[in-house]
Amino acid sequence: MRIDIMTLFPEMCDTVMSESIIGRARKSGKVEIVCTNIRDFAGNKHNKVDDMPYGGGMGMIMAADPIYNCYKSLFSENEPKPHLIYMSPKGKTLTQQRVVELSKLDRIVLLCGHYEGIDERVIEEIVDEEVSIGDYVLTGGELPALCLADAVCRMLPGVLSDDLCFEEESHFAGLLEHPQYTRPAVWHEKTVPETLLSGNHAEIAKWKRKQSLIITKQRRPEMFEKIKLDKNDIKLLDG
């Protein structure tokens, strides 16, 4: 898979995507991540990419041409148009389900806005979807783009050591993750649940499922309502 990030801060994005698991995945060729500077397509000697908004208002707006020209430089006329996602607080909130869907594409392009936003006309011209990582506003689209890229990369074959690494995580199956423990078995007089020390894999699996159900019900009731409980789940919750 290839992920392109269109940004005013390519060094920032490239640095983050070169660390830890994602960095190793890039080096091994499991994913290609290319960060392109929108300023390189400004078309003026000062590399200016913003201008005052029509109709007045605070701040500046990113102009259409630099964004459009940057995007068009990423693929030739003979190549299919890559799926372009604009990171925007007005977009649909990113979910794990959407992350999995995006991971099945051959290529995605992430557009990072800045200032007070970007010219609406370029959104209408090239953007396929707008995505938000939450109901708050950040200085630019770089951090949301990095979050999305990280989440997608983790779903790619071979990036994690085993599918179980993400299949048991929060949100993957519509549940929040169960509590986790490591050594020592006793810390500050707090002990690891006996079931996890038993070696009984069937009972451990039941414990993990029960804890995930309880935590999801308590902390994210709107998620819990969407879960299709089977008779074993009901038994666990009643036990």
Domain residues of the chain, as ranges? 2-153, 168-238
- Architecture in CATH for domain 2-153: 3-Layer(aba) Sandwich (3.40)
Pick the CATH number of 168-238 from 1.20.120.140, 3.90.1150.10, 1.10.1270.20, 3.40.190.10: 1.10.1270.20
77-133 confidence digits (pLDDT tens) = 999 999 999 999 999 999 999 999 999 999 999 999 999 999 999 999 999 999 999
Burial environment of residue 120 by CB neighbours within 10 A (0 to 12, 13 to 18, 19 or more): exposed
148 and 33 Cβ atoms separated by less than 8 Å: no
Q: What is the mean pLDDT of residues 191-218?
A: 96
* Per-residue confidence (pLDDT) for residue 191, from 0 to 100: 96
* Per-residue confidence (pLDDT) for residue 166, from 0 to 100: 52
CA angle 70, 72, 76 (to 5 degrees): 135
Q: What is the mean pLDDT of residues 162-185?
A: 76
* Per-residue confidence (pLDDT) for residue 171, from 0 to 100: 63
Alpha-carbon Rg for the chain, nearest whole angstrom, is: 22
Q: How confident is the model at residue 70 (pLDDT cuts 50, 70, 90)?
A: very high
Rounded to the nearest 5°, which phi and psi values hold at 15?
-65, -50
CA atoms within 13 A on the CB side of 228: 1
* Per-residue confidence (pLDDT) for residue 173, from 0 to 100: 75
pLDDT of residue 168 exceeding 90, the answer is: no
Residue appearing with tokens 């009972």? 203
Q: How many CB atoms sit inside 10 A of residue 46's CB?
A: 7
Q: How far is CA 159 from CA 27, 50, 68, 162, 172, in A?
A: 11, 38, 32, 8, 16
The DSSP 8-state label assigned to residue 186 in this structure reads E
Q: How confident is the model at residue 75 (pLDDT cuts 50, 70, 90)?
A: very high
Sign of CA dihedral 72, 73, 77, 80: negative
* Per-residue confidence (pLDDT) for residue 167, from 0 to 100: 57
pLDDT of residue 169 exceeding 80, the answer is: no
Across the chain, mean pLDDT equals 94
Q: How confident is the model at residue 8 (pLDDT cuts 50, 70, 90)?
A: very high
**Residues linked to residue 6 through DSSP beta bridges, in sequence order:** 36, 111
Q: What is the mean pLDDT of residues 149-174?
A: 78
**Residues linked to residue 110 through DSSP beta bridges, in sequence order:** 5, 85
| Widest Cα–Cα separation across the chain | 71
Q: How many CB atoms sit inside 10 A of residue 165's CB?
A: 12
* Per-residue confidence (pLDDT) for residue 27, from 0 to 100: 98
Which residues, other chains included, contact 227 with Cβ-Cβ below 8 Å and sequence gap of 6+? 174, 175, 213, 216, 233
* Per-residue confidence (pLDDT) for residue 97, from 0 to 100: 94
Higher-confidence position of 239 and 156: 156
